[in-house]
Amino acid sequence: MSHPEEPGRDATGADDLVMFWNLYEAGVDRHYGRDERWHLQRDLVREHRPRVLMTTEGWAWQFNDRAFFEDAKSALDMDGVLFPAKTGCNLAVFWQHDVDLVAVEEVAPELAQWHGHGSATLQLPGRSAPVRFVVAHLDPFSATNRRIESDHLRQYADPEAPHPTLLAMDANTVPPGTLSRTGPPRPATGAPTTRCPARTTRTGPRCGACSAPRRNRCSSTRAPTAATGHRPSASTRRARRPDASTCSC
């Protein structure tokens, strides 16, 4: 975001660095008293000092009056808004104190296909018009859900929109465990990725592995490999999840 010809951009404005980061398991680590991963992430953000930071996988950030989220704002010395997800994979937008918040849009967690999305419209110094920042995280296991979620995001691509928009997301175009097309097959571990055997409809029984009340796929049947860089094995995840509300079933 450094070109004077950009919409709403004043030539006299300072360059605006924008970052997006999938924080992976840092929130889960912190819940169990392991802060090392978060401290490395925090220090890198401090070093770069982005004007705007968008994040996903803020696991456990919704607990204890959003304690981890509030701590992140304080540690990064930034303001921000949290977009809670029914999966526990929360999204957020942070901005520097000299940025003004104009508007926030978010999807009710229970209406989202998976992790959901949210947007914050911000007035950045040196710009005559606000910019809308959208953060999203698509369903990694269902191509159908990804199409639905992508369709929901089309509203932000309207060329007649009053403000320019910057969209950052984890699109999950390759499901965890998928064979690489550019390298040797990834080693297979555990059970295949399938639907939760105890969950076939939205009104069916709760999952016997995680007691989640919603449908979709149970973490007990997933087996992402370490090569995917997405999440640890299913058995590890069950042992480490803070409680059933953060299971991505």
Out of 57-61, 79-83, 218-222, least confident range: 218-222
pTM of the model: 0.67
pLDDT the model gives residue 160? 83
Q: Could you tell me if residue 84 is left (phi over 0), alpha (psi between -120 and 50 degrees) or otherwise beta?
A: beta
Residue 180: band (very low, low, confident or very high) from pLDDT cuts 50, 70, 90: low
* CA separation for the pair 106, 80 (Å, rounded): 14
Question: What is the average per-residue pLDDT within 171-185?
Answer: 64
Report the chain's mean pLDDT, rounded to a whole number. Answer: 74
Residue 205: band (very low, low, confident or very high) from pLDDT cuts 50, 70, 90: very low
Residue 222: band (very low, low, confident or very high) from pLDDT cuts 50, 70, 90: very low
Residue 14: band (very low, low, confident or very high) from pLDDT cuts 50, 70, 90: low
Top-confidence residue, 217 or 78: 78
Question: What is the average per-residue pLDDT within 161-174?
Answer: 87
pLDDT at 44 over 70: yes
pLDDT at 104 over 50: yes
pLDDT at 97 over 60: yes
pLDDT the model gives residue 242? 52
pLDDT at 217 over 60: no
pLDDT at 223 over 60: no
pLDDT the model gives residue 5? 43
Kindly give, in sequence order, each residue whose CB lies less than 8 Å from that of residue 151, ignoring residues fewer than 6 positions away.
Answer: none
pLDDT the model gives residue 181? 52
